[in-house]
Amino acid sequence: WKKLYLAHHWPVTVCKMSDHDCQDPPEYWTIHGLWPDKTEECNRTWHFNVTEIKDLMSDMRRYWPDVLHSSLNRTQFWKHEWEKHGTCAATLPVLNSQKKYFGKALELYQHIDLNSCLLKAGIKPSSSYYQMTAIKEALTRFYGVTPKIQCLPPEEGEKAQTIGQIEFCFTKELQLRNCTALKGDSDPMQADLKLGTEELSVCSDTLPTYYPSQVQ
């Protein structure tokens, strides 16, 4: 693989996409995963073991919660992320154990600090709409790279898309890079986002964009 995606999702939108038991989703961006492009389930015998990340637990619960299943002892989400993506990321020495993989993802999340960047740019959850180009410009200005932003397309009768996921891309040296696909790169991440019947797709630059503050 060539690059890593650090995917943040917006819990309110995740809840909107699904009929699970979302209770009081966090009102800040949380981690969806740290994904190498192109590969999945690289080592099916390397099973998730939650005791390896017990030191990270309070940060994991806070910043990488299972938004859809709110009971605290849910480790299913982390198990899925490790087995599907972590076992592939582990070809890098800095990510070659569960503790390193989850710990590094948390570190990158803190480093990116998306929540405060958006606030500084005056972009906060609201019932009015944003222009997608304004959100993109703010992020690009702040980070110096182009992230990948995904939205829920408008439902019937709606005119706005709903922001759902923001992904930052990193080189194998864990330096930020643009997410734009290079010629010949496939987009492996589409399949990861089926939740219920609705799915996220790359946001349209022309549709008004809703950044919801609570589940409707």
Identify the residue whose tokens are 């990861």: 192
**Is-contact 129 208, C-beta < 8 A?**
yes
| The pair of three-digit structure tokens given for residue 89, joined into one six-digit string | 């990321």
Rounded to two decimals, what is the model's pTM? 0.91
* Active site (annotated) includes residue 85: yes
Give me the pLDDT at residue 3, please.
95
Query: Which residue stretches of the chain have pLDDT < 70?
Result: 20-21, 70-73, 181-198, 215-216
Give me the pLDDT at residue 191, please.
42
Pinpoint the alpha helices (H) of 28-131. Answer: 57-63, 76-81, 87-89, 98-112, 114-120
How many independent structural domains does the chain possess?
A: 1
Contacts of 148 (CB under 8 A, 6+ apart): 5, 166, 167, 169, 179, 189, 202
Measured CA to CA, the distance from residue 15 to residue 146 in angstroms comes to 26
Measured CA to CA, the distance from residue 3 to residue 13 in angstroms comes to 26
216 assigned to some structural domain: no
Give me the pLDDT at residue 20, please.
67
* Active site (annotated) includes residue 47: no
Give me the pLDDT at residue 198, please.
64
Give me the pLDDT at residue 186, please.
45
Choice among 8, 32, 83, 167 that is catalytic: 32
* Active site (annotated) includes residue 20: no
For residue 86, give the CATH number of its domain. 3.90.730.10
Range of the domain at 100: 4-211
165 assigned to some structural domain: yes
197 assigned to some structural domain: yes
Choice among 9, 83, 85, 167 that is catalytic: 85
Contacts of 25 (CB under 8 A, 6+ apart): 11, 12, 14, 15, 67, 215
